[in-house]
Amino acid sequence: MVEGMEKKLNPGDVLFKEGDRGSVMYLIREGKIKITKGAGDEERTLAVLKDGDFFGEMAIIDGSPRSASAIAVTPASLLVIDEETFKTKLKENPLIEYVLGTLAKRLRTADEQIKMLTIKSEERRVVAFIITKAKESGNTVDEGIEISAFSYEVLAHITGIDENKVRNYVQKLEQANLLRQKGDSIVIKGIEVLDEYLRYIALKEKFERI
């Protein structure tokens, strides 16, 4: 039996948001929790979990940010299981620990690709990918945030866009002084700046359709 603290939520309470850092997982004792991706017009419900379901485990398996948001649909009672308790149980069986770690990496990659493919605009897909990588693995440097081991081939594969087009979009960002290529890395000015550019692209596309 895994022990943990109890957490209660009211309908509409946000347990965590996509991109948040996480150090605990949850087991639903009672109630319903909605798992969503995106925000505003692009918000999509991935699942509605109920009594006996667990979630949030990937954040404590591989230390990556939350891949989706969790919101209470009804009054809910959750069992909170911290990282230490979870990993102690895993270490009792090294094979299970290894398998879960490998699965988590594969799921993160698949999740990232699905997220990119839901964005219709190719340019927005490229910018969204760079923002995601900066949040997940970017290192703060004097000029901004550096993303190491940057690959046009990988970016093209994940976004489903021709590699030459990807290069053009990245070069466009560089010409706008939003990023700089540095060997096999890129340095962006900041996540907030790219978020703002992403909103600009969305507005531009919206008014071009009118």
In whole angstroms, give the CA distance from residue 89 to residue 82. 11
Per the CB < 8 A criterion, the answer to whether 107 and 57 are in contact is no
Q: Say whether both 32 and 97 belong to one domain.
A: yes
Residue-wise burial string across 24-61, b where 16 or more C-beta atoms lie within 10 A, e elsewhere: bbbbbeebbbbbbbbeeeeeeeeeebeeeeebbbbbbb
pLDDT of residue 164: 94
Q: What is the pLDDT of residue 174?
A: 94
Q: What is residue 108's predicted lDDT score, i.e. its pLDDT?
A: 67
Co-location of 108 and 136 in the same domain: no
Task: State which of 70, 90, 113 marks the end of a domain.
Answer: 113
Q: What is the CATH number of the domain that holds 151?
A: 1.10.10.10
- Does 127 share its domain with 104? no
- Same domain, yes or no: 76 and 139: no
- Rounded CA-CA distance 84/5 in Å is 13
Domain end residue (candidates: 113, 131, 147) = 113
* Shared domain check, 70 and 13: yes
- Its domain, for residue 22, covers 5-113
- Are 92 and 165 found together in one domain? no
pLDDT at 113: 59
Are residues 71 and 154 both part of a single domain? no
Count of domains forming the chain: 2
Are the C-beta atoms of 66 and 16 separated by less than 8 Å? yes
The C-alpha atoms of residue 19 and residue 131 are separated, in whole angstroms, by 11
Cα–Cα distances in angstroms (integers) from residue 47 to residues 29, 69, 70, 96, 145, in the given order: 17, 11, 10, 25, 33
Q: 73 vs 39, which has greater pLDDT?
A: 73
Look at residue 30 in the predicted model and tell me its pLDDT: 95
pLDDT band at 1 (very low <50, low <70, confident <90, very high): very low
Instruction: Calculate the CA 132 to chain-centre distance.
Output: 6
Q: What is the DSSP letter of 141?
A: E
What is the average pLDDT score of the chain? 84
- Condensed to tens digits (0 to 9), the pLDDT of residues 93-132 reads 777 766 676 766 666 666 665 666 567 788 988 998 898 8
Name the token pair of 104. 């988590």
- Give percent of the chain above pLDDT 70: 86
> Residue for token digits 């760079």?
130
| CB distance 155 to 147 below 8 Å | no
Same domain, 86 and 20: yes
Looking up residue 9, the CATH number of its domain turns out to be 2.60.120.10
**What is the pLDDT averaged over residues 26-44?**
86
Question: 27 and 103: one domain?
Answer: yes
Q: Please check whether residues 101 and 162 belong to one and the same domain.
A: no
For residues 11 and 106, state if they share a domain: yes
Model confidence at 13, pLDDT cuts 50, 70, 90, reads very high
Whether 94 and 193 map to the same domain: the answer is no
Q: How would you classify residue 37: left for phi > 0, otherwise alpha for psi between -120 and 50, otherwise beta?
A: beta
Please say if the pLDDT value at position 57 is more than 80.
yes
pLDDT, one tens digit per residue, over 121-170 is 889 889 988 988 888 788 999 989 999 988 898 888 878 889 999 999 99
Q: In what order do the strands lie in the sheet with 69-72?
A: 14-16, 69-72, 33-37, 44-49
Q: Which of 91, 113, 135 finishes a domain?
A: 113
Helix spans in 8-80 (H): 57-62
Question: How confident is the model over 16-31, as pLDDT tens digits?
Answer: 998 898 888 899 999 9
